[in-house]
Amino acid sequence: MRPKGGRTRLQYFSLVSVCSFAYYIIPSFFFPSIGALSFVCWIWKDSVTAQQIGSGLNGLGIGSFGLDWSTVASFLKSPLATPGFVFMNMLADAKKFPFFSSSTFDSTGKRYNVSRVLDQKTFDINLKEYNSYSKLYLSMYFASSYGWSFAGLTATISHVALFHGKDIWDMWKKTSTAAKDQLGDIHTRLMKKNYEAVPQWWFHIMLVLMVGLSIWVCEGFGKQLQLPWWGVLLACAIALTFTLPIGIIQATTNMQPGHNVITELVIGYLYPGKPLANVTFKTYGYISMSQALMFLGDFKLGHYMKIPPKSMFIAQLAGTLVASSTFFSTSWWLLNTVENICDPSKLPEGSPWTCPSDEVFYNASIIWGVIGPLRMFTKHGNYPEMNWFFLLGLLAPIPVWLLARKFPKLEWIKLINMPVIIGTTAVMPPAKAIHYLMWFTVGIFFSFYVYRQHRAWWARHNYILSAALDAGVAFTAILVYFTLQSKGIKNRS
């Protein structure tokens, strides 16, 4: 409905999208530097120490800020869609922002020469060359980030078991009895009354078909992916196991704890020295879970919008086919047309094709696939102490749970979420300090000030504003590439 003298939600969305579209050409092409500005670096522009302290991209980011929506939302998603208590949980862990690098090093401090320890024909580790070369070394932050990933994983399991275990068990018992027809709120009852549910055999067919194709891909093509059939089944089992606990955290906080580390750890021990098997196993074990949660989130949106479930299923399936085909085609095209793509050392300064996430993915394949956890996180490697983080994460939610039971009237205790606190810097690297600083700033402003002082506006426009800003940035990025960058026209800033 349109408020008197105001705009409809669609008009507001369109207006903000157009403004975002028009503005984003400045940080995306004409003046990329406004995505990460720093007073400290301006004042002491020749000081290395100042750059380390003030740079939002290569340092701690003290005094830095950005005027670019993609800086705010590119790694941590939109802060406008995140509950306020999540920002407080994450700020409790903000002191862990150190100097960091996602690169791997040898004992001399130089970049680790993977080609030296890798068989170029089979892509297996050459143990003789490895033993004569060097152990693998990580930057202080990159190493500790794996420790916090270990802790975040076990904290998620512990937190969900303590705070939601009884509810999960009660719901499971009800869904397996005749009482399941009485479950649900008004939305569920309306959907059941007006629309047919998606038949279970639709999901079963998709499951069998996709698992079968995955096994065929891994076992076929000369087994170039290195992963055997049992690896696919184990990856699916891991994805199934973690979908519920991680889904609960995501549903209540809008933050998704990653379990990619456990997939890398498991296959790293079971199938060491096989980097392609490691990344393939991680893709099936982690990305499939992530996609499942995205699928469930879209179904939930359709549920509240009263869209027929069968129509949602078909739309999801069609969208997946179109998106995956487009993504594959675009990636293939870029790899063959953009010279030196994903190689920052050979790309011009300011190039958008540095691929920071892919660099982290590649280095992870070295750590977990080539070298393996046995030579990294045991007495044979440099980081055996990281395993204590598993215990730390498992125990961390217990004091909060005990306090919540001891003082049930203090609701704020239940808002302390240890998986979120521990997993604060989960995407860092590739995310930088500036991304976190701007995300916190925007999120806290909207979740506390705007929500409390202008609640009616927040309820009507907050999420629309977030979606419109995302849409404007996305359309501008496409336009800039096809009209300017693909023609070799570069900014001169």
DSSP 97-163: -------EE-TTSSBP-HHHHB-TTT--B-HHHHHHH---EE-HHHHHHHHHHHHHHHHHHHHHHHH
Residue spans per domain, the chain:
9-89+431-493, 101-427
- Tokens linked to 67: 């005027």
Contact 404, 414 (CB under 8 A): yes
Containing 232, the helix (H) or strand (E) segment is helix 229-253
Contact 31, 66 (CB under 8 A): no
- Residue 10 DSSP SS3: helix
Determine if residue 277 is left, alpha or beta; phi over 0 gives left, psi from -120 to 50 gives alpha, anything else beta. Answer: alpha
Determine if residue 106 is left, alpha or beta; phi over 0 gives left, psi from -120 to 50 gives alpha, anything else beta. Answer: beta
- Residue 341 DSSP SS3: coil
| Half-sphere exposure in the Cβ direction for 278 (13 Å, CA) | 30
Written as tens digits, the pLDDT of the chain (493 aa) is: 556 656 777 787 788 788 887 877 777 777 776 667 676 776 777 666 666 666 666 666 666 767 777 766 666 666 666 665 555 554 554 443 335 566 777 777 788 888 888 877 777 788 888 888 888 887 777 777 788 888 888 999 999 999 988 888 887 877 766 445 555 667 777 778 888 888 999 999 999 999 999 999 999 888 888 899 999 999 999 999 999 999 888 888 877 887 788 898 899 889 888 888 888 999 999 888 888 998 888 888 888 888 888 998 999 999 989 988 988 898 888 888 888 888 777 777 666 677 777 777 888 888 888 888 888 888 888 888 888 889 988 999 999 999 988 898 888 888 888 888 887 766 666 666 777 777 778 888 888 888 888 888 888 888 888 888 888 888 887 787 777 666 666 665 5
- Residue 355 DSSP SS3: coil
Question: pLDDT digit string (tens) for 394-432?
Answer: 999 999 999 988 898 888 888 888 888 887 766 666 666
Contact 86, 79 (CB under 8 A): no
Containing 211, the helix (H) or strand (E) segment is helix 200-219
Residue type, 160: V
Provide the H-helix boundaries in 283-348. 288-304, 309-337
10 Å CB burial of residue 159 (0-12, 13-18, 19+) is buried
Question: pLDDT digit string (tens) for 207-253?
Answer: 999 999 999 999 988 888 889 999 999 999 999 999 999 988 888 88
pTM metric for this prediction: 0.73
Question: pLDDT digit string (tens) for 75-98?
Answer: 666 666 666 555 555 455 444 333
In this structure, the strands spanning 104-105 and 137-138 are: antiparallel
